């Protein structure tokens, strides 16, 4: 039996690079669009996303360092307060030196939405929309939608419960998901383009209606609510953000449009 | 519809890296005495079109106290009340200070709210053109501006948006000073904030 395993392993080794090769630009995965019903919606509130490209990994410190070297107005001492609060890149040693407190291959954090958005623009990319990001986030290793699986949510929630490690690990250490994308869960939270989207459907009205719709779920946890509790946490987190905020556990990755040459 | 919305986003984004760098550099060329504070919304290089079809950048609104809200003109429920709240504020500000405020409405539905639609809306609601500015941007600018103000919004159908109702007050340098949330609030606080910002020598 022992030697039978070898060809299998051998096949796996050649098969893996082939799987990665469908991502057209280096480091990006091509995502086939689709539809899903987000946790806050009724059956009629189906979200549809188009085909798009997504970075396989969050943007790293090293990559962001290259960016600020090229665009000095985004260096720590140069950035305007409107675009990033004081803690911007605070763990770096200086404007253009990473120092010992961060790993070059770890995700860049302490970046504002403005900085993330601008970084992506300067790569000819953009931030993913919330709808795109959530579409990717419902996939596990084998399935594009793993939300029916309780263990999938437990794993995510378990990560949410843990405090961020003192030094963030390098990107790519979590399991690759169905789309060939890493680190959506288990490393850092990520900025999305429209983080300031509201979370309800219906006629526009006072914010109180929004709160009621959201926080009712906390009082009456049915199985569908539990299924989406992780998503609910993300929405609640995003709605607490402002565009200039910079946090220790908040990074980003970029997206692109599939038929656009990058 | 949603797809179209995001396609619009992407087209805009893919082009704006260099443009924004240039805009920033231009802003840095302005002599020190007119330099805007770091927290000013005049730092935003975005282009807007007024109800009179004038192309402007936000910095051109410099000099008056700004009272701003984000609306869309086809809105049935909340926006008329938001505009009514703004009009009440306008009336409650002391007469001698009224000429020093600029009431600004920014459309979150730039596809529908073309300058002539905004103009029509201003006429229908009896908004004095000397004091009211209505702005159309592109999707990117609108999203960015909303992000700065902490305004949440989302298109929920081809004709409807969900959005938070926030009236923001900026000083003459474009720095955010006060925000009032929700409809039909007691205006005492916001009027006080506005009047305190109007220069005394006027």
Given this model, what pLDDT does residue A25 score? 57
Mean pLDDT of B84-94: 94
Helix or strand (DSSP H, E) at A233: helix A229-239
Q: What is the mean pLDDT of chain B?
A: 82
Say what percent of chain A tops pLDDT 90.
54
- List b or e across B152-178, with b for residues whose CB sees 16 or more CB atoms inside 10 angstroms: bbbbbeeebbbbbbbbbbbbbbbbbeb
Tens of pLDDT, residue by residue over A142-155, are 999 888 888 888 88
Nearest CA distance, B148 vs chain A (angstrom):
6
CA distance B174 to B43: 9
Cβ contacts of A261 on chain B, cutoff 8 Å: none
Binary contact (A198, B143; C-beta < 8 A): no
Say what percent of chain B tops pLDDT 90.
60
**Residues comprising chain A, all counted:** 262
Binary contact (B13, A120; C-beta < 8 A): yes
CA distance A243 to B199: 30
Mean pLDDT of B62-88: 88
Binning pLDDT at 50, 70 and 90, where does residue A237 land?
confident
Is B152 part of the contact surface with chain A (CB cutoff 8 Å)? Answer: yes
Given this model, what pLDDT does residue A163 score? 82
**Which residues are registered as beta bridge partners of A229?**
none
Binary contact (B143, A196; C-beta < 8 A): yes
- Number of residue pairs across A and B with CB atoms under 8 Å? 120
Is B33 part of the contact surface with chain A (CB cutoff 8 Å)? Answer: no
pLDDT of residue A184 exceeding 90, the answer is yes
Domains of chain A, residue spans: 27-257
Tell me how far apart the 2 most distant CA atoms of chain B are, in Å: 52
What's the CATH number of domain B2-197, 3.40.50.970, 3.40.30.10, 3.30.230.10, 3.40.50.620? 3.40.30.10
Given this model, what pLDDT does residue A203 score? 36
CA distance B66 to A209: 28
Given this model, what pLDDT does residue B29 score? 46
Given this model, what pLDDT does residue A113 score? 96
Tens of pLDDT, residue by residue over B104-159, are 999 999 999 999 999 999 999 999 999 999 999 999 999 999 988 888 877 777 76
Q: Please, which residues have CB within 8 angstroms of residue A221's CB and are 6 or more apart in sequence?
A: A229
Nearest CB to B9; choose among A193, A203, A243: A193
Given this model, what pLDDT does residue B67 score? 97
Residue carrying structure tokens 């579409």? A135
Q: Please, which residues have CB within 8 angstroms of residue B128's CB and are 6 or more apart in sequence?
A: B90
Given this model, what pLDDT does residue A259 score? 59
Which structure tokens are listed for A174?
Answer: 């979590």
**Which residues are registered as beta bridge partners of B153?**
B163
Say what angle helices A130-137 and A229-239 make with each other, to 10 degrees: 150
CA distance B137 to B128: 21
Given this model, what pLDDT does residue A47 score? 85
Nearest CA distance, A181 vs chain B (angstrom):
21
pLDDT of residue B23 exceeding 50, the answer is no
Is B186 part of the contact surface with chain A (CB cutoff 8 Å)? Answer: no
**Residues comprising chain B, all counted:** 202
Binning pLDDT at 50, 70 and 90, where does residue A227 land?
low
Binary contact (A113, B147; C-beta < 8 A): yes
Locate the chain A residue with the closest alpha carbon to B8: A257
Q: Would you state the CATH architecture of domain A27-257?
A: Alpha-Beta Complex (3.90)
Domains of chain B, residue spans: 2-197
| CA-wise closest residue to B195 among B84, B87, B94 | B94
pLDDT of residue B201 exceeding 60, the answer is no
Cβ contacts of A203 on chain B, cutoff 8 Å: 76-78, 160, 162
């Amino acid at each position: 039996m022992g030697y039978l395993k070898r060809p299998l392993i051998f096949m796996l080794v050649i098969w893996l690079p082939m799987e990665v090769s469908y991502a057209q630009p280096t480091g990006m995965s091509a995502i086939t669009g689709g539809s899903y019903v987000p946790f806050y919606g009724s059956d009629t509130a189906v979200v549809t996303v188009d085909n798009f490209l997504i970075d396989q990994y969050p943007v790293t410190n090293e990559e962001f360092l290259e960016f600020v070297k090229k665009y000095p107005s985004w260096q720590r001492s140069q950035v305007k307060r409107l675009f990033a609060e004081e803690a911007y890149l605070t763990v770096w040693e200086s404007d253009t030196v990473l120092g010992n407190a961060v790993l070059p291959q770890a995700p860049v954090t302490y970046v504002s939405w403005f900085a993330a958005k601008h970084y992506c623009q300067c790569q000819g990319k953009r931030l993913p929309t919330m709808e795109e990001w959530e579409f990717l986030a419902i996939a596990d290793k084998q399935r594009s939608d793993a939300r029916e699986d309780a263990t999938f949510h437990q794993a995510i929630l378990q990560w949410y419960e843990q405090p961020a490690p003192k030094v963030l690990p390098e990107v790519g250490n979590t399991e690759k998901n169905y789309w060939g994308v890493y680190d959506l869960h288990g490393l850092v939270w990520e900025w999305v383009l429209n983080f300031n989207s509201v979370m309800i459907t219906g006629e526009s009205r006072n914010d109180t209606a929004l709160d009621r719709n959201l926080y009712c779920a906390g009082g009456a946890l049915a199985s569908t609510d539990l299924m989406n509790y992780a998503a609910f946490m993300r929405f609640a987190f995003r709605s607490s953000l402002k565009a200039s905020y910079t946090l220790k556990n908040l990074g980003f990755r970029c997206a692109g449009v599939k038929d656009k040459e990058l | 519809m949603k797809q179209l919305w995001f396609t619009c986003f992407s087209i805009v984004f893919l082009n704006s890296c260099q443009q924004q760098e240039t805009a920033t550099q231009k802003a840095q060329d302005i002599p020190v005495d007119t330099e805007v504070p770091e927290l000013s919304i005049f730092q935003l290089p975005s282009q807007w079109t007024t109800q009179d079809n004038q192309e402007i950048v936000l910095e051109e609104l410099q000099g008056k106290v700004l009272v701003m809200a984000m609306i869309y003109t086809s809105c049935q429920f909340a926006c008329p009340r938001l505009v009514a709240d703004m009009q009440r504020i306008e009336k409650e500000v002391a007469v001698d200070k009224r000429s020093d405020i600029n009431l600004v409405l920014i459309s979150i539905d730039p596809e529908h709210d073309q300058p002539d639609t905004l103009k029509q809306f201003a006429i229908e609601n009896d908004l004095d053109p000397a004091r009211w500015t209505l702005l159309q941007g592109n999707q990117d600018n609108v999203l960015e501006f909303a992000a700065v103000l902490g305004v949440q919004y989302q298109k929920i159908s081809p004709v409807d948006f969900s959005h938070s109702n926030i009236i923001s007050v900026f000083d003459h340098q474009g720095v955010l000073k006060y925000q009032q949330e929700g409809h039909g609030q007691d205006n005492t606080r916001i009027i006080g904030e506005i009047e305190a910002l109007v220069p005394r020598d006027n």
